[in-house]
Amino acid sequence: MPTTISCFSYRQWDRVPFHFIFIKYENFVKVILNSKSVIFTNSELASNQILFQIFILSLLLTKDISCISSVFDKNKIKYGVETLRHWKKSKIADYYEFIEIDNRRNPLNSMEPKRASSDKKMRKFFKLFINFCENELIKDPIIIVDEYITRESDKLFNYFDRYIHHEVKINILSRILHTYGHDVCKFVNRFI
């Protein structure tokens, strides 16, 4: 299984944004929350309900989980991920934003970790994570997933509504043309 990368970016008004970056290996997941990073086994990540929901959300919101984005800035290459950002506790952005990873190398080219992070490192990470959950996270991740699905399905339903309306119009005009002729069809077309 190839290494994948995903990101969930959350910002509430003018506070510091929280970026969750998940680098998924075969047996481990590296989670980077702003500057703190820890390595979980797959089962450890799945056992933490909210963190796992944020991981699923990051998979939905990331543009392409199989590759990493890069930009050149002042002759330096910066690696990052393009994701839809959730901000101001209200909505998911309409455009993909580049979230930089504090790393000088492409993390998808790195080797899989040999073991999970130590308990001390986990405690520091969860201190920051609990602070995020209690003070910053306004919406439940499941509600954000629902908003994303609603947003995407609205686009799809609008497309089908326009398509069906257009097809019905063509069908009606075609029947009028074949039944009553070109002159009547032109007249009816002005009013449809």
Instruction: Mention every residue, 6+ apart, whose C-beta is less than 8 A from residue 97.
Output: 9, 82, 83, 84, 85
| CA pair distance 94, 9, nearest whole angstrom | 13
As a whole number, the mean pLDDT across the chain is 82
Q: What is the pLDDT of residue 180?
A: 82
* Residue 57 predicted with pLDDT over 60: yes
> How would residue 113 be classed by pLDDT, with cut points 50, 70 and 90?
confident
* Residue 16 predicted with pLDDT over 80: no
For 138-150, what is the mean pLDDT? 77
* Residue 89 predicted with pLDDT over 60: no
Nearest to 152 by CA among 67, 83, 61: 61
Contact 63, 83 (CB under 8 A): yes
E strand or H helix that includes residue 91:
strand 91-100
For 34-55, what is the mean pLDDT? 88
Between 49-61 and 141-180, two packed helices, what is the crossing angle to 10 degrees? 30
14-18, 136-140, 143-147, 176-180: which is most confident: 176-180
Global pTM reads 0.75
